[in-house]
Structure 1
Amino acid sequence: MNSFDRQIRYFRVIAELKSLSQAAEALGLTQSGISRQLGSLEEHLGVPLFYRTGRGVELTPAGSFLQSQTHTAYETIDNALASIKGHDAATQGKLKIATVHTLSYYFMAEIVAKFLGVRPTTTVSLVARSSPEVVTLVERGDVDLGFVYDSAVASDRLNSTPLFDDRMCLIVNRQYKAKSQSIDLNKHRLSLVVFPPHYALRRMLHSSGLEFDTVAEAETIAVMLDLVSSGVGYCILPDRIHTKLLAEYSLRKIAIDQPLLTRRVVAITKIAVPPSSLTQLMLDAALGNLSR
């Protein structure tokens, strides 16, 4: 990539993020380095491309014109490069994914299986983390794709693709005497095993106004289920958790009538990095657009 092409690409990232510091981080550069590249481009063109504001930068008329005129050309180039790269990597490569813990128990296996049905020799590296940690991993470029609850995504450096809504249920042991198949948690103060405070599902419980007693905190579903199976309170998890898994712990689900506890699951990618063909295939699998 020659210096002029590089400067225009840097300009486009700055224009997208509206911040020199965020653009520098996204590109792996220092802020002074990207400022020099922008200054060199502006000197070559003879006009400023951005206004400096207290919150970042805004495009000048010349900057807006350059952004609009280069959009189609660079999008075409990047798509062509990604297509060629994807063709070469059609039967090999590595895809790094981060997901919240809950999805690793009922969603990820299915979509990874669909993906590998099309790209059987690709290595899929999967890590389970809390929602904030998944966001950070994607922002830093440590993983190609993240699956997370939308409430955790408050970043203008990420693309977010809605997948589905998760409704919560109450997990109890077999000895629990239920009067019905559902429960109004507003009428009961339960002892719960919960995720740590920085987890999205823990924040959901607090934001719902639900009153409960915390008897234990656990970072993984396996530990939660072990504790509930041992008689240490109950837990609240997505209703999509497989009944077969719960049966292994002698547990079962009870539907929650009130409060309504739902979270939307989204896929996130880094804006500054166009999705590779492998990343797009995994997104297609998550969206149900890929058959095995």
Structure 2
Amino acid sequence: MTFSASHDTQLRMFVAVAKSRSLRAAADSVGITQPALSKHIQSLELKLGHPLFRRHGRGMQLTPDGEALFRTIEPLFDALDESVSHACVNGPGWGLSLRIATVQTLVGHFVPTLSKELLRLYPQVRLSLQCESSSQVVETVLRGIADLGLTYSTDVNAAELECVDLHSEHLALYHHKRSDVNRAAISRLSDLKLILPPRHFGVRRYVERVLGCQIQPFIECNSLELSLRMSAISGAIAILPEHVPRDLIESCELKRVILADIPPRRLVAFWRAQNSKPVVLDAAIEVARRTPAEQ
């Protein structure tokens, strides 16, 4: 049996009468006239096909069917009312959650800015942030473990995913200020002492695809911050996206040289294709589109 909004009202009226055991007291509590309340109860009994109350001079007594209905729906209305009350008190986002999977190179600048704006819009939303390689970010979203993925377009090609472009990003070399990295050296990238992540990371695959050969790094490292620090102490050169936070670069006494001759990659936000997206996911996508590439 399907109930409409009017039946929901009738059930609310039924609960009020069941609690008050009096039409008059219940009518006062819900703010309608006694005849109008009586009509709601009669309509509900007609819909269900059996009486819910025995009327007598002292008020209204539940029938066995009425008692069973009351015990079933009264806790449901209490829980619903409590949820609405919490939402009013706690503000937007209460009870909502969003799981974001991202590549680590976005953790230092893009993701914190996106999260800050999202929490401003939905202060009570529960955020879950996961850092993975590009391929793992895609797999995490495909499997429904994350709601939103942030990585590069070269890694997102599944038909089950929808995506939106955010911005373009060049790769860059990060080396110690005292080391000499000139244009001639840059033209022979594969000959340099490089710091790169493992091959299942998008940066490594992209560099090898552009150079047309596999690279054996001097140091293999899957941490952005550790790659920078290793560059500072080893004299090796880290290849990372251009938008590494400036404070990290300066703290390691490094220089950044953007590889302008290598085509940039497009950062994208993506999610599983679905008929309708949760409001918080829609908001996160829009915030991601507005978030600048560099702070």
TM-score interval (norm. to shorter): 0.5 to 0.7
Normalised to the residue count of structure 2, the TM-score between the two structures is 0.63
Distance 1:245 1:289, change over 3 A: closer
Residue 128 of structure 2: aligned partner = 125
Shift of the alpha carbon at 1:236?
1.1
Q: Summarize the alignment of residues 236-275 of structure 1 with structure 2, pairs less than 5 Å apart.
A: 236-258=239-261, 260-272=262-274, 274-275=276-277
Secondary structure of the residue that 1:142 maps to in structure 2?
Answer: coil
Q: Summarize the alignment of residues 164-179 of structure 1 with structure 2, pairs less than 5 Å apart.
A: 164-178=167-181
In structure 1, the gaps of 5 or more residues are 3-86
CA distance in 1, matches of 2:280, 2:195: 37
CA distance in 2, matches of 1:183, 1:244: 28
Shift of the alpha carbon at 1:166?
0.9
Contact 2:166-2:288 within 8 A present in 1 as well: yes
Secondary structure of the residue that 1:193 maps to in structure 2?
Answer: strand
Residue 135 of structure 1: aligned partner = 138
Residue 36 of structure 1: aligned partner = none
Does the alignment pair 1:151 with 2:154?
A: yes
Distance 1:289 1:132, change over 3 A: closer
Residue 193 of structure 1: aligned partner = 195
Residue 119 of structure 2: aligned partner = 116
Secondary structure of the residue that 1:196 maps to in structure 2?
Answer: coil
- AA in 2 matched with 1:186: S
Q: Summarize the alignment of residues 219-238 of structure 1 with structure 2, pairs less than 5 Å apart.
A: 219-238=222-241
Residue 46 of structure 2: aligned partner = none
- AA in 1 matched with 2:155: A
Q: Following superposition, which runs of at least 4 residues in structure 1 exceed 3 angstroms of deviation?
A: 210-213
Residue 286 of structure 2: aligned partner = 284
CA distance in 2, matches of 1:140, 1:112: 23
Does the alignment pair 1:95 with 2:98?
A: yes
RMSD: 2.6
- AA in 1 matched with 2:172: C
Contact 1:215-1:232 within 8 A present in 2 as well: no
Shift of the alpha carbon at 1:255?
2.4
Residue 63 of structure 2: aligned partner = none
Residue 107 of structure 2: aligned partner = 104
CA distance in 2, matches of 1:130, 1:185: 26
CA distance in 1, matches of 2:248, 2:216: 26
Normalised to the residue count of structure 1, the TM-score between the two structures is 0.64
How many residues are treated as equivalent by the alignment? 204
Contact 1:186-1:210 within 8 A present in 2 as well: no
